[in-house]
Amino acid sequence: MDPGGVASALVAGLAAAWNQHDMQAFGSLFHDDAAFVNVAGVYLRGREEIERAHAAVHAGPFRNSALIAWADDARPVGSDVIVAHVRSELQGDDRAPGQVRRALMTLVIERRDPHWKIIAAHNTNVLAWLPQAGGVTPTG
């Protein structure tokens, strides 16, 4: 297992699904019993609720948005669990024209044979941007 590779592949999938506004593909990267806390503190329970909530905002203020995201770090915390930190930049929020929203997300990624998927995510807006670690480059 390469934690960085696993995390980077999932993050690339999240960004691709976001940019295609395909929330079914977005949701497919989460286990059915996953949890997601968004930047507003809303606690979403289960893959279906994660998909529905994201589909709603993609039908509204994020309908023209574009996301770039990259795994800043990833480390195993067991043979089947990885914790990763993900940085992202979002443009095209209809509520904030011309602005870039930066965020930092913590992901807990779990392998349930044979699939690595997200079991928990917590996203937060970043008010002061920090340099990215380790020379990792954004994908999107």
Residue 42 has pLDDT above 90, yes or no: yes
What is the rounded (10 degree) CA torsion for 42, 46, 52, 57? 30
Rounded (to 5) percent helix, strand, coil in the chain: 25, 45, 35
- Which pLDDT value is given to residue 132? 55
Query: What mean pLDDT comes out for the span 77-93?
Result: 97
Confidence of residue 135 (pLDDT cuts 50, 70, 90): very low
Token pair listed for 24:
């079914």
Residue 83 has pLDDT above 60, yes or no: yes
CATH code reported for the domain at 3-125: 3.10.450.50
CA–CA dist 50, 98 (Å, integer) = 27
Confidence of residue 43 (pLDDT cuts 50, 70, 90): very high
Q: Are 27 and 46 in contact (CB under 8 A)?
A: no
